[in-house]
Each structure stands twice: as C-alpha cells, then as structure tokens.
Structure 1
Amino acid sequence: MQLPNLLNKPAFLQRVQWVLNPIGYMENAVQQYPDIFTAQIIGFGNQLVFVNHPQAIQEILTNDRKKFAALGEYNELLQPLVGNYSLFMLDGDRHRKRRQLVMPSFHGDRMRSYGDLIRDITKKVWHQLPKNQVFTARNVTQDISLQVILQTVFGVHEGEKSQRLKKRLALMADMFRSPYSSSFLFFPFLQKDLGAWSPWGKFIRDRQQLDELIYAEIAERRAENNPNRIDILSLLMSSKDEAGNSMTDQELRDELMTLLLAGYETTATAMAWGLYLTHQHPQVLEKLLAELDTLGDTPDPMSIFRLPYLTAVCNETLRFRPVTMLTLPRAVQEPVELLGHSLESGTILCGSMYLVHQREDIYPQAKQFKPERFLERQYSPYEFMPFGGGVRRCLGEALAVFEMKLVLATILTNYELALADKKPEVARRRGVTLAPARGVRMMITGKRTPKESRIMATVQN
C-alpha cells in the first residue's frame, strides 16, 4: 500500500518517541511534511496518516461512513478503560443511536442548572487550601472536576459513597499519569496481570473495585425508580432508543466510564493550564480581572459564561495547550485523493488537533499565548478543534467549557495567586492526553475583593 510521506525512521523508535515525547515527534515530522505524513506507531495497523490541513480534516470528518468511516475497533487503545460498549468503541448505526441517547444529557438548558453547583464546589475546595503554601494546581482542579462529574453525572453528593467513588476513580486515572506508565496502554505485551503488586495487575483490581461501585449504584437507582432525578445517569437509564429499548447495565457502565474519564481528567488539565497561563502573562490576567469586576460581587453564571475576554482566554488556552492530540481515527472506504495523495481502501487517518493549532498560516506567532486572536477572528470548526469534530465530536464539550469558565472566574475573582516555579511548565503525555509535567505549582498569596466592592468600602469609610 502506497502511503503519503512515510517517515524515514525505524518503526520501533517512532513508537517509543510517540509514547515518551509525542509533541517532539509531531513537531519534527511536520517540519519535514507540513500537511500530511504517515507515522509508524503502535496500533492502527501500526501505520497512521496524520493530517493537519483544516480543509482536508473537514473532508475526512464530514464524509463519515462514505469515503471515511470511524471504526470503533481502531480505538482499542481505550478499551481497557471504557469497555466494549462505550461510544468510543461503537460503529455506524450503533454509534448514531447511542449518541442520540446520550446527547440530551448535555443540552444547554441542563448546563445552566449546574452553574451554582460548579461555583459552590470550587469555593469549598479552594477555601480549604492554606495561604502562602505551595500546592499543585492540577490536583486541586482535578478534585473540583471530579466532584462536579460525580454530582452531575452520578447524582452522588457528599458522603461515604462519594468518597469511595472519588478514591477509586482517581486511582484508575493516576495509573497513566506519566509517559512511562502510559506505555501500558500503547504496548499490549505489557498488559500482564502478574498479581496485585504488578502495575497492570493493580490496574485490573482497581478497575474491578470501581466497577463494583458503579454496578451497585445502577442497581440501587433501578430499584429506586425516581423520575424526578436530573443527573445524567438517571437520564440515561430512562432514555430509550428508536425500538423502545433501554441501555443495559454494561452499556450504562461503559458510558459512565467514558464520561467520567474523558470528562474530569481533561477538564481538570484545561483548568490547570488556564491558571498557569494567566499568571505567566500578567497583562492577560489584569485584563481578565477587569472584565470579571464589571459583573459585581454575585454574578449570574450565564453572565460569566458570556464574557468575551474570558471566552478568548479559555479558547486560547485550549489552542495553545490542547489536552487531546488527535481526532479518533477514520478508515478510507474507497480509493480517494487527499491533498494530492492517492489513498487506498483501508488506510487509517486522523486529524492532528495539536498540529492544526500550531499552524502559522492560521495562528501567526502560534508559539505565543495571545487570547486577543479570538477577539479579532472567527475560526472555523476545523481550524480550532479542541474537542474534535464530525459525528465523533466530544459530547461533553458544553459542560467542559461551562465548567472551565466558571471555575477560573470563581478562583481569580476571590484569590490572589502566584506561580511557585521559575522554570516554565511544559506539556507531557498523561495517558492519551497532554498535561502539565509538574502539575502547575502555585500558592495563594491573599484574598481578592472585586473592584466594585473595594470602591464601595472606600466610600463608606
């Protein structure tokens, strides 16, 4: 099979570099082949065509199931985490029907009902942090994001059940916190259960204990049969497909794992990057605080959500430090031409969101953090695509963006923070995502009062 711009490097070395240093791997490759190249990395038949030209990505993602099909079997990397019945693993009509069942749970009206919950969780978590002591921001945003997910998705609030779920989910996610531990996902020969003290054996047991909690919650919810609950689990349990069928326990479990792992880990990382980048660029922070101050002491969540500069800061954070690197893979269904290259049936492609976001022809001075670019220009869904695109676009996008804006606004409005490290924070692999290598070390230096309150206090005195 003739493949476009095959990288001239031993396959084993490519696979190792892809796992240990994916950014370096992609940036080296794109210098040689700017728009399209073929990588020899683990999975995907061991050959994967990377595409980072927006129009070509649009063609791939909008011709789904015609010229280019999204096949769940090529997401086998995720199977140990999400199971066989996750949206990630389904194809064709099965994927379409499942997406129709899940999508209403993330409707905009429902997001608005979560606004006060997100702010209350944020305030409570940050209130517990000591002043003038270094903490890891990503651990804190992970705690916030996990509590939001548990309450919005599971409908599980504070208590013993919540603590057990938090503990088990965090243990599973932390299994792949570094490039080296992430290698267990990319090299199947490492996936050996050699007992509870072996890495994969520990993962299997942690997953089993989390499954027991999830299935127990599903059974309890079925017995309760409360039609007034509005959490996403309850909505999924009450939804029916075109044939009138409800989701099975295993389908519910796999979809919950998808929402939990894809939702809280990625959002936590995006919020940590937001805190880091705003404090690394004082002029951005100053402008953002001035905008937040215009809303007064108790702003409505939707007023926060609609702030233009906050939106620009969040968008630039997701562009500059995308959490996800690639779209889910597509398979060529019939011979087709793309960017001047003939592709045969069976060729596996993906869009590189990371490389699209680094294109100088779309984002001049792409290596600089400049939120203003999102005020000056409207980008197409294939130029700015932190949540993927097409029929496989992330379902949790609305909740993730809403949460990111509210959490950052709540923190920045109430606290003065400082970065604790002089060395720049860099991105490195965390499972199938990118996250801050040191987790963003910060400290609280004081409490902050919005400008209007400060002016009022001065007048009264």
Structure 2
Amino acid sequence: MFHTLRDRWQGAIEPIDNLVKIARDPYRFLDDLRRKSGELAELRMAGMPTVLVCSEPDAVRQLLTGSYDQLERFAGGVELFVDPLALILTDDEHHRQRRKLLNPAFNAESVRAFGPTMLEIADGVLDQLPQGTTFPMVGPMQDITMRVILRCLFGVAEGPRFEELRTLVVEYLQGVFGPDMLALGAALTPTRAHVALMKLSRRARAVAVDVPFTPSRLPVQRIADRLGRIHALLEAEIDRCLADGPETRNDVLALMLRARFADGQPMSREELHAQLLMLVIGGYETTSLSLCWAVHCLVNHPEALARVRAEVEQVMQGGFDPARVRDLNYLGAVIAEAMRLYPIGIGVSRRLRKPMRLLGRDLSAGTIVMLSVYLMQRHPSLWSEPDAFKPERMLERKPSATVHFPFGGGVWRCLGAAFAEHEMRIVLARLFTRFSVSPDPDFKVHATQKGITAGPSGGLPVQVAPIS
C-alpha cells in the first residue's frame, strides 16, 4: 500500500519536477537523462504529452532525413506563440509550397543585400554599450536583433512607428513567454490558448494606427492588446509597401508581397501576418542568444579571440565591408562551434505517421520523438573532446547536417539560418574589433531555459572597454 501511494505521488510530481529542472539548466537535465535512461529515454513534462528523447546517431539520422509521409513536425508548445498558418506548424504539400515561396527572401543574394543595414544597426547599438560597469550582454544583442528584424524583414523606417512596433514586439514576446500565458496554455492546450489570445486581441486590432493606444493592465489581456496592436501596425506597413510598390524595395515583406504560388495567387493578408510574426519569434531570441553564447566562448578562449581579430583585420583591409564577412572563415567556425556546444534549441521533435522500429523498440504511429540537438552535438562517438571549444574542427571538415543541426534539419530546417549567420558574423566582427570584452569573474555561467530557447544565465554578465 505504501509503495503504491509513493509510486503514484512520484508519477504525479515527476512531470512538474522535470519542467522545473529543464528551466533551471536544460543541458544538465539532458546529460542526466541520458546517463540514467539511455539514448531513447522517456520524458514527461507538465502540460505536454510523453516524448521519447533520442540521442543515438543512427536513429537520429533516420528521423532527420525522414519524409512527409513518414513523419510530421511536432511543435511542442510552439502553437501557443504562433498562428496555425505559420510555416513552422505546417506539413506536406502546404509546407512545401510555402517554403518554396519564402526561400528567395532568404537566399544568399537577399541576405547579402541586408548587410549594410545590419552593420549600421550593429554599430549604432554598440556605440551605446555601458563602460566601466558589469552589464548583461543579452540586452544589446536583443536590441540589435530586433532592430534588424524590423528594418530588414518588415521594412519599417526609423521613427515613431518603428519605436512603437519595437517596444510592442519586445513586450509581447516577454508576455507570451511568461507565466500567465504558459498557465493558460497548460489549462486549455497551447492551440486553444492561442485562439483565445487572438479573440482577445480584436479590440486593439480595431484601433486606427494613428490613434494612441494603451494596452490593458489585466493578465493575458495585456498580452492580447499588444498582439492586436502589432497586427494593426503590420497591416499599415503592408498597405504602405503596396503603395510604395513592392518592386522598389528589397525587405522580406516586399519580397513576400511580390511572390506568387504556382497558380499565380499571392499570399493572403492573414498568412502574411502569420509568417511575419513567426519570423519575429523565430529570429529574435534565437539569434540574440546564439550571439551571447559565441561571446561567452570567445571571452573565455583568448587564443581564439586573437585569431578572430587578426582575421577580421586581414580580410577588412581598407574598411569594413559587410559583403566580405562571408570570407571570415575562422569566425564562421567559431559560430558553428559555439552553436554545437550551446544550441539554443535543445531538440527538434517529430511525430510518427507510421509505425517504426527504433533502437530495438516498436513504436506506434503517433509516438513523439525529440531528437536531442544538444546530446548529439556532444556525442562522444561523433566528436573528439566533445565538451571542448575547438573551432578548428569546423575548418578541418564540415560536419554532416545529421550530426550538427543547431538550425534543425531535414525539410523543416530553419528558413532564416543564412540570415542569422550573416548577422552574427557582422555583429561579432564589429564587437571584438571595437571593444575589449571581459567576463564577470565572480559569475559562473550555465544554460537556463527561457520559453523555447536556452540562453546563458544572468544574460551573460560582461564588461567592455574600447580598443585604443
């Protein structure tokens, strides 16, 4: 009797305990899970269905390269934050068509065209870095990333509209990843919670953009008001772009307005909103936190930092040209190695559409498997000295996309991967050739989970000083 009650209590408390542990230190939690339960481990978390965490290389490769008819993407709660029309939530032909439509906005030529704007924004934010005091690096990195999103993706010019939208988006993301919305998602399911949020946002969406609007102070409604106001401002920006002529602009919104499906039809207004907000959520925390992890690696490895500075000086002789950051090969290796050690997404999940045998187990259709990015990218059978920061390994041989996949993999690989890497190269090159950056010696950095991303604890406390 006692053992039965104890087992029931442990079974009830385990999902909550797992959620707390992942939030505190997701990397440690995954290391402990593999050590205790092997490379196909059951994971239960509060508010989520049971997931199998897979970190065996052959099994991960099998799942990453699977097709639409074998697998579907399992968003793992992302439905709480984005519209059902967003690319990240779609499968099959619907996903394939929209991926094809959006790809040109993020190809190499389009990304390089954003370089001067990225450089201007990076230098402007870096000019304001506090000196002589310890501060969290995540703040400036988030500021750069959000400004890049609004300028390069939305085409919003600097000014009152820009500042209002920037503030609203940041506050919305803080709210939607906060306890009020997470509690609503747990109570209603993530999809239903998002539907409820959209209904509550109608009030703010109906207010004209030239009329001042003050969001509610009530829980959840204040998040919905910000979302509604963002939609209203995006609608105004779409109208402005159409009035300007999308063919006269090269921002992502203009490219999306010019794009046509195979039948000649453009993307609907509703879908434009869904994809634009997905790009904000997918690019804000992810890029800014990846930048912080790269800073963390470099400030703790002076020899690598010296090599980065020397490379930038050599490549950028005669002045900094953002188009030439693609020639910063060692800096690219630093970014890849930092993302190997510290992936901001700890895993990508798939739901089986057909029964599958995996690691000796027969799994039924509907089973959810999380492919652990973190565990694979530190797997001892795949990497020599897996816990060591060694950018040189990325120069010696480019790793396979099935063993190094910080941007996800397969048909669902992150659409904005090239955009993010180009931005990171520019920001890091400018930061470390303009400033001496020192870590806080009294602070031990570890990973913490924030929403759907894993970032450095304390926002990565540092000090900076200009390089004379």
TM-score range, shorter chain: 0.7 to 0.9
In terms of mean alpha carbon deviation, does 147-156 or 183-192 score higher?
183-192
Work out the CA distance in 1 between the residues paired with 2:243 and 2:13.
52
Structure 1 gaps, min length 5:
1-7, 449-461
Deviations 1:328-383 (Å, cap 9, x if unpaired)?
Answer: x3222222212222111221122111111121222233233222222334311011
SS in structure 1 of the partner of residue 306 of structure 2: helix
How many Å apart are 1:148 and its aligned residue? 1.0
Q: How does 1:323-402 map to 2 (within 5 A)?
A: 323-327=344-348, 329-402=349-422
Pairing 1:49-64 to 2, within 5 Å after superposition: 49-64=52-67
* 1:78-117, Cα deviation, whole Å (9 max, x unpaired): 2332212101222211111111111110010111111222
Q: 2:287 aligns with which of 261, 267, 270?
A: 267
2:122–2:427 Cα contact (<8 Å) kept: yes
2:389 counterpart SS class? coil
Cα separation, 2, equivalents of 1:16 and 1:240: 48
- Distance across 2 between alignment mates of 1:55 and 1:185: 38
Report the equivalent of 2:96. 96
Letter in 2 for 1:425: V
- CA drift of 1:235 comes to 0.9
Matched, 1:13 2:14: yes
Residues 174 and 322 (structure 1), Cα distance of their counterparts in 2 relative to 1, 3 Å cut = same
Within the candidate set 325, 332, 336, 1:304 is matched to 325
- Matched ranges for 1:62-77 at <5 A: 62-70=65-73, 74-75=74-75, 77=77
Question: What per-residue deviation string (whole Å, max 9, x for no partner) do you get for residues 45-81 of structure 1?
Answer: x1112112232222113222232233xxx42722332
The answer as to whether partners of 1:68 and 1:330 remain within 8 angstroms in 2 is yes
Select which of 286, 296, 321 maps to 2:342: 321
What TM-score, normalized to structure 1? 0.88
- Secondary structure in structure 1 of the residue aligned to 2:357: strand
| Matched residue, 1:187 | 186
- Is the 8 Å Cα contact of residues 51 and 57 (structure 1) preserved in structure 2? yes
Instruction: Indicate the residue corresponding to 1:410 in structure 2.
Output: 430
Counterpart of 1:152 in structure 2 is: 152
Bigger CA drift: 288-297 or 82-91?
Answer: 288-297
Contact 2:311 2:328 in 1 (8 A): yes
2:27 to 7, 18, 23: 23
Structure 1, residues 279-311: CA drift from partner, whole Å, max 9, x if none? 122222122222222222514334322222211
Distance 1:333 1:113 in 2: 40
SS at match of 1:175: helix
Are the aligned partners of 2:246 and 2:255 in contact in 1 as well (CA < 8 Å)? no
Label 1:421 to 1:158 Cα distance change in 2 as closer, same or farther (>3 A): farther
**In structure 2, distance between residues paired with 1:263 and 1:325:** 16
Taking a change above 3 Å as real, the CA distance of residues 129 and 346 of structure 1, as seen in their structure-2 partners, is closer
Range with bigger deviation, 200-209 or 98-107: 200-209
What is the SS of the residue equivalent to 2:84?
Answer: coil
Q: What residue in structure 1 maps to residue 124 of structure 2? A: 124
Q: Which runs of 5+ in 2 are unaligned?
A: 1-8, 201-214
**Does the C-alpha gap of structure 1 residues 339 and 112 become closer, same or farther in structure 2, counting only changes over 3 Å?**
same
Give the direction of change, closer, same or farther, for the CA distance of 1:309–1:145 in structure 2 (3 Å limit): same
* TM-fit CA distance, 1:198: 4.5
Alpha-carbon distance, 1:135 to partner: 2.6
* Distance apart, 1:119 and its partner CA: 1.4
Deviations 1:15-40, CA, capped at 9 Å, x for gaps: 44235343333222111233212212
Shift of 1:162: 0.8
Match of 1:257 among 272, 277, 282: 277
Q: Closer, same or farther in 2 for the Cα pair 1:31/1:198, shift >3 Å? A: farther
Q: How far, CA to CA, are the matches of 1:25 and 1:187 in structure 2?
A: 22
CA change 1:403–1:184 in 2 (3 A) is: farther
Q: Indicate whether 1:167 and 2:167 are aligned.
A: yes
Provide Cα deviations, 1:409-455, integer angstroms capped at 9, x if missing partner.
0111111222235222111011111112211122222234xxxxxxx
Q: What is the root-mean-square deviation of aligned Cα atoms in Å?
A: 2.4
> Secondary structure of the residue that 2:61 maps to in structure 1?
helix
Counterpart residue identity of residue 24, structure 1: R
Offset of 1:186 from its aligned partner?
A: 5.8
1:255 alignment partner, SS class: helix
Whether the aligned pair in 1 keeps the contact of 2:64 and 2:402 (CA below 8 Å) is: no
Counterpart Cα distance in 1 of 2:257 and 2:121 = 26
CA contact (8 A) 1:196 1:205 kept: yes
Q: Given the superposition, is the C-alpha separation of residues 15 and 219 from structure 1 closer, same or farther in structure 2, using an over 3 Å criterion?
A: farther
Equivalent residue number for residue 207 of structure 2: none
Equivalent AA in structure 2 for residue 320 of structure 1? L
The answer to whether the 8 A contact 1:428-1:436 is kept is yes
* Counterpart Cα distance in 2 of 1:441 and 1:287: 23
- The alpha carbon displacement at 1:123 in A equals 1.0
Q: Percent identity?
A: 28
Report the CA distance between 1:276 and its aligned residue. Answer: 2.0
Q: How many Å separate the matches in 2 of 1:322 and 1:198?
A: 35
Would you say the 8 A contact 1:185–1:431 is kept in 2?
A: no
**What is the rounded CA distance, in whole Å, between the counterparts of 1:103 and 1:184 in structure 2?**
35
Q: 2:290 is matched by which residue type in structure 1?
A: A
Distance 1:34 1:303 in 2: 45
Distance 1:185 1:132, change over 3 A: farther
Which amino acid is the alignment partner of residue 113 of structure 1? Answer: A
Distance 1:246 1:366 in 2: 47
2: distance between equivalents of 1:271 and 1:350?
25
Deviations 1:172-206 (A, max 9, x none): 2222667x678447623596989944543322222
User: Cα distance, 1:318 vs. partner?
Assistant: 0.5
Matched, 1:419 2:423: no
Is the CA contact (8 Å cut-off) linking 1:42 and 1:186 kept in structure 2?
A: no
Secondary structure at 1:173 match in 2: helix
Cα displacement string for residues 266-287 of structure 1 (whole angstroms, at most 9, x for unaligned residues): 1111111212221122222122
Determine the structure 1 residue equivalent to 2:229: 209
8 A contact 1:419–1:443 mirrored in 2: yes
Letter in 1 for 2:426: L
State the SS of the aligned residue for 1:211.
Answer: helix
TM-score normalised according to structure 2 size: 0.86
| Residues 255 and 354 of structure 1, relative CA distance in 2, 3 Å threshold | same
